[in-house]
Amino acid sequence: MEKFVTLNASNLSSGSLLPIGFSSPCRKSAVSVQRRRVHVTRASIAVEQQAQTKVAVIRVGTRGSPLALAQAYETRAKLIASYPDLAEEGAIEIVIIKTTGDKILSQPLADIGGKGLFTKEIDEALINGDIDIAVHSMKDVPTYLPEKTILPCNLPREDVRDAFISLTAGSLAELPSGSTIGTASLRRKSQILHRYPSLNVLENFRGNVQTRLKKLNEGVVQATLLALAGLKRLNMTENVSSILSIEDMLPAVAQGAIGIACRNDDETMANYIAALNHEETRLAIVCERAFLTTLDGSCRTPIAGYACRGEDGDCIFKGLVASPDGTRVIETSRKGPYTSEDMIRMGEDAGQELLSKAGPGFFGN
């Protein structure tokens, strides 16, 4: 395990934000900005192996990708804002943990185990006491949590939509027949092929954001889709050609959300992270994960789900399952009170409906 002591957070960016307003995904927004050149600057991360002069108050476990580190430093900043004493040098230590998903890039995620590939080693470090809290991208977190851990905190959710990036086209609709899109997501693949069957999808298009954009620049593919949340957190939205609406591309369960876990017997850490929790986000994630748990889908089953607060204050939930080739897409929606009990029930009910509609064998692989 490599301990990360000092990182210059400003070096995590490569570019600046687009001079356009990103509206709430719950409201329709038509934003299309074509770029003829993708700007890729490998994130510069300064690692200094300095002797610790004191024991850290909080050791934060995270993956080592530029995006994961950006999320860890967002967590650090929010902790300091809530507890100014933590601003003292060395009070919060960032601990980088390499996960199975980071080590094996040559195979599709579904072929190397699927669930927990980006969280297992971090969870083990938490349980073993090597770290005090763990920062996860919530869409990587399995629907079950390891024993002795809790995940009581979600930071305010970023934009959940997917971004379309291409050197030659401004949207999926503008790509010529036969164009190849790179993605490691069956959810994206199935929804793309459902609407644009003349396009090709290159699977196992894996790697961090910088790696994928480098492959795009090299002409490996003509376009790719990335989570807008990650691009915003990395200050790389200048690369966005257009943003897909929720109607055109339903996001992954918990996309755009950061979760913070701790041990279930660590009251001190639970109190620290309680101040960071954004309850509206947490309830939305609870709803979506109830949907996913009911479906019990694998990484080989395209599943999408999104809950948000509507203009009238109620919860609006949309979910779908699909065949990997996009020939079959089954959708559902719900609306109800924005409360934990009601939203869990909505997610579970929506999942049961899609299980019934999909029929035997749909989730068998």
Catalytic residue numbers, as ranges: 140
**In this structure, which amino acid lies at residue 40?**
V
**In this structure, which amino acid lies at residue 68?**
A
In angstroms, the first-to-last Cα distance of the chain is 34
CA distance 292 to 98: 26
132 and 269 in contact (C-beta within 8 Å)? yes
Q: Where are the beta strands (DSSP E) in 144-191?
A: 149-154, 162-166, 180-182
287 and 189 in contact (C-beta within 8 Å)? no
- Calculated CA dihedral for residues 353, 355, 358, 364, nearest 10 degrees: 170
For residue 166, give the nearest of 243, 235, 105 by alpha carbon. Answer: 243
Strands of the sheet containing 258-263, edge to edge, are: 2-4, 92-96, 58-62, 133-137, 258-263, 149-154
CA distance 110 to 128: 27
CA distance 343 to 315: 7
Provide the 3-class DSSP secondary structure of residue 219: coil
